[in-house]
Amino acid sequence: MASVFTMIIEGQLPGHFVWRDERCVAFLSIHPIRPGHVLVVPIEEVGHWIDLDPELLAHVTAVSQQIGKVLQSVYSPVKVGAMYAGLEVEHVHLHLMPIDSVGDMSFANADTAATAETLSAQAERLREALREAGCAQVSER
């Protein structure tokens, strides 16, 4: 059975995408821990990041770095945190989020009532910033 992330990638479930290329996508978390909480997900379904092909891991990391620079610019946090957790969905994904302290990355802070309108506005803001940064892989949905 396809993971929930595969269903989002294939358009079977909605997603607020900011990046899409031939190897990975990035979209906003539907339960953001912080505004701008992005998930970078390889298209290939792999359950644990340590099992990723090293070239795919490097690609996910490079994409995350580009998106992280935009998150830094748009939200002006102290840092952009990055975390592979993977307990909630059995499909590798790297959490990127603007943070001002380590506690900002706690899943206890997840906004389970985030609206589609809020996520859509955040996604458009990030897509615009990615375009301005010269990224050609900005998703159009």
Could you report the per-residue pLDDT of 59-101, keeping only the tens digit for each? 999 999 999 999 999 999 999 999 999 888 999 999 999 999 9
4-132: which CATH topology? HIT family, subunit A (3.30.428)
Tokens of 90: 């059995």
Nearest to 29 by CA among 65, 81, 101: 81
Tokens of 56: 């795919």
pTM of the full structure = 0.95
Task: Return d(Cα 120, Cα 117) in angstroms, integer.
Answer: 5
pLDDT at 141 over 90: no
